[in-house]
Amino acid sequence: MTNPRVVVAVVWSVLVGAGCTPVAVGVRPSHPLSAREDRDDAPASARPTRPWFDDAVPDDDADDVRARIAAAAAASLGERPVVVDGERFRFDCSGVAAGIYARAGVPLVGHGAPDTKGLYALVAARGSLRRSHPLPGDLVFFDDTWDENGNGRDDDPLSHVGVVERVVDDGVVVFVHRAGGRILRSRLDPAHPDDHQDAAGRVRNHWLRAASGSRRARTTGELFVAFGTLAVDREAPRRLARR
């Protein structure tokens, strides 16, 4: 008989560990939390003093483009890097997000892919950042998913990114991201960030950071920062790029 503790350990190792190690970057883009080095145990995105994002929801009539991005996200699930027209995208969270956009015929920036902070800066410069009203195809940003600066504190803003696939009727957001060595779906409920499951046992927020020492595990809702909608070209190619 299979030991249930072993099964739990395997599932935990697959779903948690969304550490998204960035490739070397130049100047760190500005972010409201980038200069904070608080010593308390609360994740940066959950602190009472964290800023709220309240840009307007885009009304650019690009729903079909965003639907293609969501479809490209679903088509990218699995254990392989995203390859688009011969270009292999980095197999980290930001590389996968950029690859998904490219696969939908909506390249983010030129050749290659920026890291998570670069994606955030791109949306801040020409898009909409919000804590509510997510749209299919949005980027979704998280803080403190891993100890990026290695100081043992929860002061690591913009450490993870995914792509929104759909929003369920009860408000739960289903997004696609690279975590635990593969591209998978996870769920996020910003309205109930502390709830891993509801009363019926349905997952509302997946675990995104494992417990470590005295620090408890964190959910997607607790580490959530913002949804980011990029301004997209309404006339963007109407085909999914070749894998």
Residue 32 inside a domain? The answer is no
Query: How many Å apart are CA 83 and CA 225, to the nearest integer?
Result: 28
Spatial separation of the C-alpha atoms in residues 114 and 55, rounded to whole Å: 23
Mention every residue, 6+ apart, whose C-beta is less than 8 A from residue 72.
100, 101, 103, 104, 240
- Which of 35-39, 101-105, 164-168, 233-237 shows the lowest per-residue confidence on average (mean pLDDT)? 35-39
**Considering just the CA atoms, what is the radius of gyration of the chain in Å?**
17
Span 138-145, mean pLDDT?
96
User: Which CATH number goes with the domain that contains 57?
Assistant: 3.90.1720
Share of the chain above pLDDT 70, in %: 72
Provide the domain limits for residue 70.
Answer: 53-230
pLDDT at 241: 45
Q: Name the phi and psi angles at 151, rounded to 5.
A: -100, 5
Say how many domains are in the chain: 1
In-domain check, residue 128: yes
Least confident window among 43-57, 107-121, 160-174: 43-57
155 lies in some domain: yes
Q: What's the pLDDT tens digit per position in 168-192?
A: 988 999 999 999 999 999 999 999 9
User: Is 92 a residue whose pLDDT tops 60?
Assistant: yes
More confidently predicted of 214 and 242? 214
127 within domain boundaries = yes
User: Quick check: is 76 in a domain?
Assistant: yes
Assign 39 a pLDDT band (cuts: 50, 70, 90): very low
Kindly state whether residue 27 falls inside one of the protein's structural domains. no
Q: What is the pTM of this model?
A: 0.81
Burial (0-12, 13-18, 19+ Cβ within 10 Å), 219: buried
Number of Cβ atoms within 10 Å of the Cβ of 175:
28
The verdict on residue 12 lying in a domain is no
The reply to whether 5 falls in a domain is no
pLDDT at 128 > cutoff 90? yes
